[in-house]
Amino acid sequence: MKAQKIGFIGGGNMASSLISGLIASGHAPDLIWVADINLDALNELATHFGVNTTDNNTLVSCVDVVVLAVKPQTIQSVTEAIAVVVDVQQPLIVSIAAGVSEQSLSHWLGNNTAIVRCMPNTPALVLTGASALHANANVTAKQRDLAESIMRSVGIALWVDKESDLDAVTAVSGSGPAYYFLLMEAMEKVAQTMGLNEHIARLLVLQTALGAAKIALESSESPQQLRQRVTSPGGTTEQAIATFEQADFSGLVAKALLAARDRSVELSQSMENK
């Protein structure tokens, strides 16, 4: 993978994080190209990382893989403008644009285009992301490895069997960080009402979240088993868990994730109907 030429159309935060992760994992900066209409962003990336900067069509003509890191509302115009060069060069296309289907991308770029669609999440910005990927029938085994290596540079990368699974991924990990932030926010507010100052409340909540995640990642036990292990009969934790359960905590989580999944489907369909 390190000898592959990688291009990014779009030089925003996610592209910057992927570039940072790739270079940290040993990918040479001079094998990375970036194109963006924001010249200040391009100059910053070139100065900070030592990568090449150019225009979209030139980028496509000289790389092995093109990462589409543009907003969903602009991706049609971007892809249609590079379609001729894509048809000639046949690079792998990796799209991180939420809600834009492989069918739409194939329609704009050509039916022979090798496309990997992936759903990263915002922790990728700090190299602890969770990304799910799906490849169309034109993607080779070597190209799958390349796409996976790119996304692994900012966290874990997992393949899903069906493109529609990406809607569930969006509900679980794509939107997931906000759910944890919501719980942290609520805990911090209540901690302050119980007398802790803002600084102490925040640090206790954040470190507890970090510690719980670290234990879960490093343990062979399920979250249910870990929860039971720290819930002593008749203790304070049991009382809190019972309160959550009386309010149908699991049912509320299910409703929230299903709502997010359904909205992801709606947004994807609205993009296709444009």
State the pLDDT at residue 274: 64
Provide the β-strand partners of residue 134. 117
CATH topology of domain 6-165: Rossmann fold (3.40.50)
> How do residues 132-152 score in pLDDT, each as one tens digit?
999 999 999 999 999 999 999
Task: Using the structure block, give the residue that is written with the tokens 């990918």.
Answer: 27
Distance (Å, whole) CA 153 – CA 24: 8
Of the CA atoms within 13 Å of residue 6, those in its CB half-sphere come to: 29
CA distances 161 to 24, 142, 158, 178, Å, are 30, 18, 10, 26
Alpha-carbon distance 85 to 7, whole Å?
Answer: 14
The whole-angstrom distance between residue 272's C-alpha and the CA centroid of its chain comes to 21
Amino acid at site 258: L
CB-based contact 9:1 (threshold 8 Å): no
- Residues of the chain predicted below pLDDT 70: 1-2, 273-274
Domain residue ranges in the chain: 6-165, 174-267
CA dist., res. 171 & res. 259, Å (int): 8
Please give the CATH topology (third level) of the domain spanning 174-267: ProC C-terminal domain-like fold (1.10.3730)
Identify whether the C-beta of residue 209 lies closer than 8 Å to the C-beta of residue 188: no
Number of Cα atoms under 13 Å in the Cβ half of residue 80: 6
Whether the model pTM is above 0.85: yes
**Cβ atoms of 116 and 139 closer than 8 Å:** yes
In this predicted model, what pLDDT tens digit does every residue of 20-62 receive, in sequence order? 999 999 999 999 999 999 999 999 999 999 999 999 999 999 9
